[in-house]
Amino acid sequence: MTSNTLFEPYALGAITLSNRIVMAPLTRNRAGEGFVPGDLNAEYYGQRASAGLIITEASQISQQGQGYQDTPGIYTQAQIDGWRKITAAVHEKGGRIVLQLWHVGRISHVDLQPNGGQPVAPSAIRAGTKTFVNNGFVDVSEPRALEIDELAGIVNDFRQAAANAIEAGFDGVEVHGANGYLLEQFAKDGANVRTDAYGGSVENRARLMLEVTAAVAKEIGAERTGIRISPVSPANGISCSDPQAQYDYIVDHLNALGIAYIHVVEGATGGPRDVAPFDYGSLRRRFSKTYIANNGYSLDLATSHLADGKADLIAFGRPFIANPDLVERLQTGAPLAEINPATLYGGGAAGYTDYPRFNDTAAN
């Protein structure tokens, strides 16, 4: 049996985790009518409650924040009540779970927006990518630039969503500041050519991400607040001319807020870890609380990075889809099951809650 710090308890802010394995956010497009999660979602998350921490799929803070069909929200009472089923299912099995808060910005389509309006962005620059809507992948719509007087409302939507998450029973929240969505669109100059207080300099481009995180931390407590960042990932057509300077600055200020953790996508999201030069050790040194490392981690890499002090927790994403008992498989050396790519997005129980545990497979 494998024995190392990956399987030891860990104190994360206000909560204690049973191990250092984190289930990363995974969009699965299975919310019900009104973008309400329900019993099927509760079964899915409950099956994976042996993770030290579950970070849920990204959940929009408003209708404007939605970019894909059938993703769950956290801005109506029905959605809050639906999520309460999920937190109860995880807590009943001794797990811990936080909700990822999402505004997709320009990664959306007019068919998902209020009154068929344009998606919003820091600048009117269309992303060269697709989104999943009307049961297929289509080009994202042309965005409009947000007016400066709209930004306080978006900050407030994040704050209210965080309060709603706590009402729904979550142990905390993760602000989604990664993967080419709204907060990262503001932070990176490939999507942000504004000339006001939210564009231009490193400080100005970081402003909205930091304002949102500060508002969330003030609402629910810094010890229950985390953020996900992806300094060099090109996900969703995003780019940045100065990622090291940008993210050193961002992490310095996140550290000053006293939040519980930063969740760092190292390299290209779901792709090469060495996609671009970047010193992640700089972020690690600048942040005094928990560093969650993410992207392409094997058991050996996770073990070595924990042993070397390069991270405190390790997030695994897609392996959790086909392996609800991923923690147990990693600990015992059992083989990992493979994903069925045809059932990743949308649908029902098939490819969602019907992946067996290893012991069940072995018994057959």
> Catalytic: which of 10, 44, 75, 181?
181
- The mean pLDDT value for 42-61 works out to 98
pLDDT-based confidence at residue 267 (cuts at 50, 70, 90) = very high
pLDDT tens digit string along 65-105?
A: 999 999 999 999 999 999 999 999 999 999 999 999 999 99
Cβ atoms within 10 Å, residue 77: 10
- The mean pLDDT value for 24-34 works out to 97
Report pLDDT for 360: 72
Percent of the chain beyond pLDDT 90?
95
pLDDT-based confidence at residue 146 (cuts at 50, 70, 90) = very high
C-alpha 106: how far from chain center? 17
Report pLDDT for 359: 80
pLDDT-based confidence at residue 4 (cuts at 50, 70, 90) = low
| Residue 10 among the catalytic residues | no
Structural domains for the chain: 5-363 (3.20.20.70)
Would you call 216 exposed, middle or buried from its count of C-beta atoms within 10 A (0-12, 13-18, 19+)?
Answer: buried
Would you call 144 exposed, middle or buried from its count of C-beta atoms within 10 A (0-12, 13-18, 19+)?
Answer: middle
Amino acid at 228: R
pLDDT tens digit string along 5-20?
A: 899 999 999 999 999 9
Q: Residues 177, 187: contact at Cβ < 8 Å?
A: yes
